[in-house]
Amino acid sequence: MIRVTWLQFRAQAFTALAAMAAFAILLAATGPHLASLYAASGLSGCHVDSCQSLAGSFTAEVQSTYTALYVVSVGIILLAPAVIGLFWGAPLIARELETGTSDVAWNQSVTRRSWLAVKLTVGGLTAMAVTEGLSLMQAWWAAPFGRAVSDGAPQGPLSQGRFTELIFATHGITPLGYAAFAFALGVTAGALIRRTLPAMAVTLAVFIALQIAMPLWIRPHFAPADRTVIATAGGFEAGGATGPGGDTLTLVATSLPGQPEAWILSSGPVNAAGQPVSTTPAACDAPSIAGSPDFYGCLTSQGIREAIRYQPASRYWPFQWIETGLYLALALALAGYCFRWINRRRA
């Protein structure tokens, strides 16, 4: 049965291999240069005080050349599970039912459960290997960026902490979970819908929905968030708009001092009593100081500080394990359902 699975899986496996090779070549062509830039920046072994500014200048230097490639490479890893779910998972059962070849496949001397077991295992393991492989390759290539972040580089497209939504989903072990889940989801959709194209559409929709819901509503609750209040200073994204009651005040904390790799869930200005503040106090509402450090000094003198809800950097790996475990459990549950389905024999 393994040989037969390979017979039918050949083309897809070679496509994946080719894609990985192309990805590898792309990264290998630029990786060493990137590493040498990092070495030249003096960031490795930098003195604590100077690290931050060195990191900032490093990221500024590479930004123009490498942003596009970085974004694309992250995008590829994000998309890989979805592509696998669509093109490996959805057709697995659906195509056999659609074309009637299930009558060939399930009338040999192999039970349907054996057939499914081998196909799920081979497909699932390969999916996990491919996605994680892409992730590891990209992690090797983007290592300098990660180090710059931990050295205190300001947040930007190239310097996102590993706990931020995009990077959390594309590094570590989460790609394994996503791949297994997307594959199992595709197979299940194909079994229930019995037609490849609609199954692909449903798989994509459900997968995207969960991938959006997870960082927004589920992951933040893996552990109770920590809270802290800090002085407003540099390092915030300030915002404002003119309204009837005065300018609205929005301050978004983009990094936590001392914990560059924490995951900031929410942040906002609060007054001395700890209540949220939404309007710029009149005293600070002068165009001359807007956006300058004096603005923050003014806010502080008014007793306004920034309250931040966050997950500390130390929870990165526990969260990785929890999330991957969740997705793997989902994948196994779907696979179990498929086993029951294939034995129910209504085809």
- Report how far residue 271's alpha carbon sits from residue 119's, in angstroms, rounded to the nearest whole number: 60
Of the candidates 36, 44, 108, 301, which one interacts with another protein according to CB under 8 A?
Answer: 108
| Inter-CA distances, 30 with 19, 141, 292, 296, 315, Å | 17, 8, 38, 41, 32
Stretch binding another protein (CB under 8 A), from 19-27, 102-110, 121-129, 254-262: 102-110
Rounded least distance, CB 97 to another protein, Å: 11
Of the candidates 18, 110, 212, 286, which one interacts with another protein according to CB under 8 A?
Answer: 110
Beta strands in 165-259 (DSSP E): 226-231, 236-241, 248-253
Residue 269 pairs with which residues in a beta bridge?
306
Stretch binding another protein (CB under 8 A), from 2-10, 71-79, 120-128, 259-267: 2-10
H and E: helices and strands count for the chain: 10, 5
SS3 of 336, please? helix
Nearer to another protein, 33 or 113 (CB): 113
Rounded least distance, CB 336 to another protein, Å: 20
Rounded least distance, CB 310 to another protein, Å: 52
For helices 90-99 and 112-150, the axis angle rounded to 10 degrees is 150
Nearer to another protein, 335 or 342 (CB): 342
Of the candidates 7, 25, 48, 241, which one interacts with another protein according to CB under 8 A?
Answer: 7
Nearer to another protein, 22 or 104 (CB): 104
Q: Please give the size of the binding site for another protein, defined by CB under 8 A.
A: 23
**Footprint of another protein (CB under 8 A):** 1, 3-4, 7-8, 11, 99-101, 103-104, 106-112, 114, 344-347
